[in-house]
Amino acid sequence: MMPVDQQQRMVAQSPWPAVAALGWVCQIGQILLLREFLMVFHGNELSIGIVLAAWLVWVGVGSHCAARVMPFAVRPQRWLYGSTLLITILFPLTVLAARLARGWFDVVPGAFLSLTDMMVASFLIMAPVCLLLGGQFVILARLWREHAQRTDTHTVGKAYMVEALGNIIGGVLFTFLLVHIMEPMQGGALIVVVLVGAAWGLTQRGWRRGWWLGIGLVAVVALSPWLRRIDDWGDQQQWLHIAPEHRLVESKLSRYGRIAVAQREDQYSFFQSGHLMFSTAGPEADVESREELEAATLAHFAMSQHPDPRTVLLIGGGMRGTLRELARHPVDRIDYVELDRVLVDLAREFVGPATRAALEYPVVHLRHMDGRLFVKTREAQYDVVVVDMPDPSTAVLNRFYTQEFFREAARSLRPGGVLVFSVMSTADLRGSAVANRNATLHHTLSSVFAEVLPVGGRTLYFFASDQPGQILTDPFALRARFIERGVEGTPFSPGQFQLLLEEGPLRRVNWILRHHGRHAQAHLESPDTGPLFPPSVADQLAAESEWPPVYERTFINADFRPVGYFYTLAFWNVLTRTDLSAAFHWLGRMQPWWIWPPVALAVGIALLLRLLTGTRSWGRRYGVQAAVFTTGLSTMALQIAILFAFQGVYGFVYEMIGLIVALFMAGLLCGAWSAQRWIKRKDSRCLLAAVQAGIALFAVAIVFALPGFAAWPSPVAIFAGFALTTFVAGLLNGVDFPLTVACHCAVAGRADASTGAVYGGELFGACLGAVLASAVVAPVLGITACCWLAAIANATACGILLITR
């Protein structure tokens, strides 16, 4: 048995440092696991909400279970030490399990995991660690209450604030330091050191000397080579499932994702966060790869569409050969924009000498910054803009195919300039998935440019110009331009102009894409193939004004309504996972009015409880739990909306997610402190209802604020707008938490039980909000629809509180 005086010392020390450490650990651990799952899920942002949901729901379950146990626990310190020991063992295993998760499912290489697969992997892998972390908050809250010798919920609010402070420190530290230097296993070791030290520091002398922290940090540094070896082994095992026919040659951590280079025979493929960026023949190859031939076709087709291209902007694709081919033309300047310096530096080692040499040409100017921000802030104008990015299968890629980007690109073109890009397609455009995506791109381009021409089969090229008649469909005229410029040493043959512009396929492609999408249910139907002999492209363009207008909600791709992203995922899954077609078809049927039946059900239950029980505890408890649940749901829906909107403007949320969450937690801390400091009667249900109404009004304001922020010309002003919005969202949530705990305790009568119930209920609501917002609402109905979801949810909670008061 432990001596009594030692037991007393263990609770005599204030637990606030341990609570702050728990917040720090949760923030860093959440980001590390999110990055690992992004690799497994090919960088698909739909997984962000699912991973966050899994984290939140298991932390909520853990806190709820701990709340049931803590009122009867004699020595809560032992529960804390036991859970800390288990987390120390389980967290590194969780990281490795995430890397191997793809092997659980029978999917072909290159295929995306379905939403169901993502949920199964995320929820199973993260359950043990998150259960323990959720339980630790309730344990520490009880230790703090006992240390302060209180029986109310006052110390719970303090614990909530201190945990938020730990979250802030973790987010800022990750964004500005750890993201640049920390491999996953090193991060896991650092988490273990902080968590063990925090538990040990509850003794009186632990916090005074802090020797455990110094020894732990020295151990992490000393073990770094071994930790890197474990990371390398995990990478190799992961790539056996991602690309089993490839050999992982190199893997490096970047600010914007993990860059991996995989080799198959003499071809090298470059991946970012598990998503294929491009492939190229290696320096030892005798002939160009297929992708290099496609790059040459894109480059020379684009340059030949302009009579005298002197200035060119290339966004992405330079290292697969597009830059090399553009530089063969007699140009004065080529601005090549590639966001990730690590990607370019790695590619230099594996691409052919001609591609490396192109980077050193005097006319080539390499810029390492986001392509969207470059176009938005650059005043120079170009004759040709070539967007050589992968298909819009993620939110970060979709932002180069939206109406807003096309407008920005149009402003950067000289009169008569040409915008060009290409996407994967099928030869006959059969099926709604490929037709939806390609028709959406066509209609979105046509909403900005005076003339748009889609050309091709398995690769579809789009040409757009602000002047009618600028885009040529005559292969002989393009051939003459190409030959006149004396381009040499290219794998592109002038005869390809005639193959690409063959009259029959050209008319058919234009007929389908111009007609598809002109009524409300078009996205659920296969495209109309039209007459046996469609009219010429010129005749189609002349008659287009007589056709029904394009149905914009489902066929205009925008930053805040990324339907191109959704259709590309549907198309890619049709190619690789035919079993998912029904799920995407069902999601495509979603309508905004679907939210009203659940709202009516929730309000109907409140009215029924009011009639049956009056103002007794059942009705009051239901009202408070509704407020708790909807606050979590709306807060996470707003966070997802802000993250997606930030991604649409900046394009690198992978690096900044820690800072964004830190800003939210800073607002939460200020809100909780304000409630603790200034609100005397925290159990006022009318005040809680007013806070719910305030959150609803704020969500409505964001609907109009986010598009306004994105349109600002200054990147600094844009970030300030997003930062303020994130902070205020956290502020309102922080004010809400102490009020809901106090209102729940007024009904339930036990502080520990109320802490777990409110903390867990809010996390359950956040779980549902994360899944709905990221995987369903944002890609189908748009980002601002997430804000409307939050507004309606909180307005409903306000109504329920007033009904059951």
Which among 180, 170, 254, 181 has a CA at the least distance from the CA of 659? 170
Which among 237, 275, 268 has a CA at the least distance from the CA of 254? 275
Mean pLDDT of 113-140: 87
Q: Which residue has the higher pLDDT, 678 or 326?
A: 326
User: Is the pLDDT at 703 greater than 80, yes or no?
Assistant: yes
Which backbone phi and psi does 111 adopt, to 5 degrees?
Answer: -75, 145
pLDDT digits (tens, 9 = 90+) for 544-585: 888 899 998 889 999 888 888 888 888 877 766 655 567 777
**Element at 275 (helix H, strand E):** strand 275-281
**Confidence class of residue 154 from pLDDT cuts 50, 70 and 90?**
low
**Confidence class of residue 207 from pLDDT cuts 50, 70 and 90?**
very low
- The fraction of the chain above a pLDDT of 70, given in percent, is 89
User: Is the pLDDT at 3 greater than 50, yes or no?
Assistant: no
Query: What's the pLDDT score for residue 723?
Result: 84
Query: What's the pLDDT score for residue 649?
Result: 72
Instruction: Compute the Cα dihedral for 493, 497, 498, 504 and give only its sign.
Output: positive
Segment among 76-90, 259-273, 467-481, 751-765 with least mean pLDDT: 751-765
**Confidence class of residue 654 from pLDDT cuts 50, 70 and 90?**
low
User: Is the pLDDT at 205 greater than 70, yes or no?
Assistant: no
**Confidence class of residue 174 from pLDDT cuts 50, 70 and 90?**
confident
Query: What's the pLDDT score for residue 212?
Result: 58
For the chain, how far is it from start to end, CA to CA, in angstroms? 50
Query: What's the pLDDT score for residue 301?
Result: 93
User: Is the pLDDT at 364 greater than 90, yes or no?
Assistant: yes
Which among 719, 712, 707, 542 has a CA at the least distance from the CA of 641? 707
pLDDT digits (tens, 9 = 90+) for 9-48: 444 567 778 888 888 888 888 888 888 888 787 777 777 7
Mean pLDDT of 468-486: 91
Q: Which residue has the higher pLDDT, 137 or 418?
A: 418
Query: What's the pLDDT score for residue 415?
Result: 92
Mean pLDDT of 130-135: 90
CA–CA dist 39, 237 (Å, integer): 13
User: Is residue 561 classed exposed, middle or buried when 0-12, 13-18 and 19+ CB atoms within 10 A define those classes?
Assistant: buried
Mean pLDDT of 619-645: 84
User: Is the pLDDT at 196 greater than 60, yes or no?
Assistant: yes
Query: What's the pLDDT score for residue 475?
Result: 92
Query: What's the pLDDT score for residue 805?
Result: 72
**Confidence class of residue 288 from pLDDT cuts 50, 70 and 90?**
low
How many angstroms separate the Cα of 215 from the Cα of each of 84, 166, 194, 207, 714?
Answer: 18, 21, 11, 14, 46
Cross-strand partners of 269:
262, 279
How many angstroms separate the Cα of 244 from the Cα of each of 236, 237, 241, 253, 262?
Answer: 10, 10, 6, 21, 10
- The fraction of the chain above a pLDDT of 90, given in percent, is 22
Catalytic site residue from 340, 388, 391, 559: 388
Query: What's the pLDDT score for residue 447?
Result: 94
Query: What's the pLDDT score for residue 141?
Result: 81
Query: What's the pLDDT score for residue 601?
Result: 92
Dihedral, 11, 12, 13, 14 alpha carbons, nearest 10: 80
Query: What's the pLDDT score for residue 755?
Result: 66
Q: Which residue has the higher pLDDT, 46 or 596?
A: 596
387: left (phi over 0), alpha (psi -120 to 50) or beta: beta
pLDDT digits (tens, 9 = 90+) for 750-790: 665 676 677 677 878 888 888 888 878 888 888 889 999 99
**Confidence class of residue 221 from pLDDT cuts 50, 70 and 90?**
low
Query: What pTM was estimated for this model as a whole?
Result: 0.84
Query: What's the pLDDT score for residue 157?
Result: 67
Which backbone phi and psi does 442 adopt, to 5 degrees?
Answer: -65, -50
Instruction: Compute the Cα dihedral for 685, 686, 689, 694 and give only its sign.
Output: negative
Q: Which residue has the higher pLDDT, 684 or 477?
A: 477
CA–CA dist 472, 453 (Å, integer): 9
Is residue 5 among the annotated active site residues? Answer: no
**Confidence class of residue 478 from pLDDT cuts 50, 70 and 90?**
very high
User: Is the pLDDT at 471 greater than 80, yes or no?
Assistant: yes
**Confidence class of residue 532 from pLDDT cuts 50, 70 and 90?**
confident
Mean pLDDT of 87-97: 89
**pLDDT mean across residues, the chain:** 83
Contacts with 755 (C-beta within 8 Å, 6 or more apart), sequence order: 63, 67, 138, 141, 153, 156, 741
CA–CA dist 799, 689 (Å, integer): 8
Give the 3-state secondary structure of residue 467: coil
Query: What's the pLDDT score for residue 750?
Result: 66
Query: What's the pLDDT score for residue 614?
Result: 58
